[in-house]
Amino acid sequence: MTVQWPQTTAAAFGNDLIYATHDLHKRDVFSDEGIIRILDEFPRDQLAIWKFGGHSEGLGESIRGQAPKASGAEIMEAVRSGKFWLNVRRSNLLLDYMAEIGQEIFGSLEDATGRKTRKQDMGLLISSPGIHVNYHLDIPIVALVQIRGEKTLWLYPNDDIHAPADQIEDIVHMRREEDLPFRDGFDDNAIKIDLKPGMALTWPQAAPHRVQNADCVNVSLSCEYMTLPALMKANAIYTNGILRSQFGMNPQTARKLTPMNMSKAVAAQALKKITRHKPINKSTPPTFELDLSAENYARPL
Give phi and psi for 156, each to the nearest 5: -115, 160
In this prediction, residue 278 carries a pLDDT of 55
Is the pLDDT assigned to residue 93 strictly greater than 90? Answer: yes
pLDDT band at 273 (very low <50, low <70, confident <90, very high): confident
Give the residue-averaged pLDDT of 173-194: 95
Domain boundaries, the chain: 3-227+285-300, 233-274
Give the residue from 272, 240, 271 showing the smallest Cα distance to 255: 240
In this prediction, residue 228 carries a pLDDT of 96
Give the residue-averaged pLDDT of 8-31: 97
Is the pLDDT assigned to residue 41 strictly greater than 90? Answer: yes
State what percent of residues in the chain have pLDDT above 90: 87
State what percent of residues in the chain have pLDDT above 70: 97
In this prediction, residue 282 carries a pLDDT of 59
* SS3 per-residue string spanning 18-62: EEEEECHHHCHHHCHHHHHHHHHHCCHHHEEEEEECCCCCECCCE
The tens digit of pLDDT for each residue in 53-73 reads 989 999 999 999 999 999 999
Q: Which CATH superfamily is domain 3-227+285-300 in?
A: Cupin (2.60.120.650)
Give the residue-averaged pLDDT of 21-27: 97
Give the residue from 113, 192, 106, 201 showing the smallest Cα distance to 156: 192
**pTM of the predicted protein model:** 0.95
Is the pLDDT assigned to residue 283 strictly greater than 80? Answer: no
The tens digit of pLDDT for each residue in 202-261 reads 999 999 999 999 999 999 999 999 999 999 999 999 999 999 999 999 998 777 788 888
The tens digit of pLDDT for each residue in 94-146 reads 999 999 999 999 999 999 999 999 999 999 999 999 999 999 999 999 999 99
Provide long-range contacts, Cβ within 8 A and 24+ apart, for 46-49: 46/89, 46/90, 46/94, 47/86, 47/87, 47/88, 47/89, 48/86, 48/87, 48/88, 48/89, 49/84, 49/85, 49/86, 49/286, 49/290
Give the residue from 53, 35, 85, 71 showing the smallest Cα distance to 291: 71
